[in-house]
Structure 1
Amino acid sequence: MALRLQQSLKYIILSFFALVSIYPIFLMIASSFKSKQEITTKPLALPTRFSLENYVTVWKEIHFADNFMNSVFVSVVSVLLILLVSSMAAFYLSRYSFRWNGALLFFFMLGLMLPMKLAISPLYMMMLKLHLLDTYASLIIVYVAGHISFAVFVFYGFFSTLPKDLDQSARIDGCNDFQVYYKIVLPLMRPALATVSIVDLIGIWNDFFYPLIFIKSAELNTIPLGMLTLFGEHDTDWNLLFCGLTLSSLPMIIAFLLASKQLIEGMTSGAVK
């Protein structure tokens, strides 16, 4: 009886925290169907009628389709480059011992300690001299440089748990170093890949700071910059804002649901031997 009561109490507490976490998302989606007056007068109530008028307005007014494709391109290219470069670097650092192994790993770890936003002035001047301002390349370079340290940290820890006998067996079968990485190790690191992909994708997708600094043309705006047009000097269209937030959140929610199993495995891979 006491054990059943204890389990019930656990479920009640977990359900409460789940409700607290999900309710803001539910409120955002519900508010996207409301009128501006409804949000002001009844912010916590359900919409009186469900209409797609707000979604049509957002799609046309702020060119949401263009902003969405811009965000998809920058996010996907950045994440793919992060996965490629960081996984190869972590593989080399974990599989080969050389004189500067520890120093090079510490160099990557410095990126976790020093925020890149402190160097925004040198970054801006560098992009200006390279003629990369107002281009996707400036964003992609900054995102890859800013997120590669976390990815190397995760991949290095994951590679360290894999036995080196796998590498030796593959080399006996005729694989070179790159084939060991590509054919043997890479398929085993799907949980770590999912973890890094989701964490970095969310950070890049929602980033507002770097596009605001490096992007000037409206046709290159990402979703966070496009949403800025909904904020007026004296008033804000909250119904359109909630609608835009809902549309921009859906890809991240879908990506998390698709990769949630691999994400959990990646976060707990080293917990149990």
Structure 2
Amino acid sequence: MKKIQAGGLVVQLTLLCYTLLALFPIALILINSVKSRAGIFDDPLALPTAETFSLIGFHKVLAKSDFLLYFGNSLSVTLISLTLILLFGAMAAWALSEYKFRGNRLLALFLAIGIMVPIRLGTVSILELIVKLDLINTLTALVLVYTAQGLPLAVMILSEFIAQVPKELKEAARCDGVGEYKIFFQIILPLIRPAVATVAVFTMIPVWNDLWFPLILAPGDSTKTVTLGVQQFIGQYVTDWNSVLAALSLAVIPVLIMYVIFSRQLIRGLTSGAVK
């Protein structure tokens, strides 16, 4: 019994250390975003005092730049991409796990390859396609790319959860005359909410933080995202660290809010496989 308690204590301490390590960069950004430039360089680990407290970075970001436009672009691209990934991913997962047809395994293998092969390897081909479709410097181009990027992982995760739904439940609904669409939207989706939350969190973070595709596909002033907009405060010789840290602090807010909202479902989704 004592060995079990000691093992549990070690696990808890390890998780606590990892949590502190993961939260340290975020805390450092938030702390230094409300400090003067001198306060940042004199002691970056210190909390802001009456002498070092300053909101000059937030003033520059909100008043002297188009940060709200960049923030809106990122929010629009992320939400639309997330909606399409969850909808199409759940529908594809339902088809692969519920219906047996010729090419089922081949299609599942194709999606698995989509997880293993980074989408950035096809940047040149993607850029050529976007140019041919006349979608360069549009948010639509980013939505299409991110949807394609997130679908393989979403399908693989959701298909495993859908396969665990009891067949008797679906067969009983069919016996009652319930259509396939109603079974999917009214029975299956509510039962796999933890998996949907898990996919949503794992999908949102790469999309929100991405710099590669916005830089290549939508570098225009009206289509810049948050990560690309922050680059204007970083110069070759001089960097406005107050503005950079303030912009990063504002950019991290949606991720934190989403995690707080879906944290319980996320934990359930990550642990349900081990429990079962």
Q: Distance in 2 between matches of 1:174 and 1:12?
A: 53
- Tell me the equivalent position of 2:123: 120
- Give 1:180-191 correspondences, 5 Å limit: 180-191=183-194
2:157 aligned residue (154, 158, 162): 154
- Give 1:177-216 correspondences, 5 Å limit: 177-216=180-219
Structure 1 residue 138 corresponds to structure 2 residue 141: yes
- Tell me the equivalent position of 1:226: 229
User: What is the SS of the residue equivalent to 1:218?
Assistant: coil
Residues 161 and 270, structure 1, Cα contact 8 Å, conserved in 2: no
- Tell me the equivalent position of 1:25: 26
Deviation at 1:18, TM superposition (A): 2.6
Q: Distance in 2 between matches of 1:149 and 1:111?
A: 6
2:248 aligned residue (245, 249, 271): 245
Q: Distance in 2 between matches of 1:96 and 1:188?
A: 19
Q: CA RMSD in A?
A: 1.7
Deviation at 1:30, TM superposition (A): 0.7
Deviation at 1:97, TM superposition (A): 1.0
- Tell me the equivalent position of 1:107: 110
1:7 to 1:146, Cα distance in 2 relative to 1, 3 A:
closer
Deviations 1:165-210 (Å, cap 9, x if unpaired)? 1111111122111111111111111101100111101110011000
Q: Distance in 2 between matches of 1:154 and 1:203?
A: 17
Residues 95 and 164, structure 1, Cα contact 8 Å, conserved in 2: no
1:13 to 1:216, Cα distance in 2 relative to 1, 3 A:
closer
1:17 to 1:270, Cα distance in 2 relative to 1, 3 A:
closer
User: What is the SS of the residue equivalent to 2:243?
Assistant: helix
Gaps (5+ residues) in structure 1? none
1:118 to 1:10, Cα distance in 2 relative to 1, 3 A:
closer
Deviation at 1:17, TM superposition (A): 2.9
- Give 1:29-48 correspondences, 5 Å limit: 29-48=30-49
- Tell me the equivalent position of 2:16: 15
Aligned sequence identity (%): 38
- Tell me the equivalent position of 2:88: 85
Q: Distance in 2 between matches of 1:261 and 1:89?
A: 25
Q: Distance in 1 between matches of 2:75 and 2:236?
A: 29
- Tell me the equivalent position of 2:56: 53
1:142 to 1:95, Cα distance in 2 relative to 1, 3 A:
same
TM-score (norm 1): 0.95
Q: Distance in 2 between matches of 1:156 and 1:7?
A: 33
Which amino acid counterpart does residue 131 of structure 1 have in structure 2? D
Residues 85 and 150, structure 2, Cα contact 8 Å, conserved in 1: yes
Of 77-86 and 162-171, more deviation after overlay is shown by 162-171
Q: Distance in 1 between matches of 2:227 and 2:25?
A: 19
Q: Distance in 2 between matches of 1:259 and 1:32?
A: 27
- Tell me the equivalent position of 2:172: 169
Q: Distance in 2 between matches of 1:156 and 1:22?
A: 32
Q: Distance in 1 between matches of 2:181 and 2:110?
A: 24
Count of residue pairs the alignment pairs up: 273
User: What is the SS of the residue equivalent to 1:239?
Assistant: helix
Which amino acid counterpart does residue 77 of structure 2 have in structure 1? V
Q: Distance in 2 between matches of 1:6 and 1:214?
A: 50
Gaps (5+ residues) in structure 2? none
Residues 227 and 244, structure 1, Cα contact 8 Å, conserved in 2: yes
Of 4-13 and 225-234, more deviation after overlay is shown by 4-13
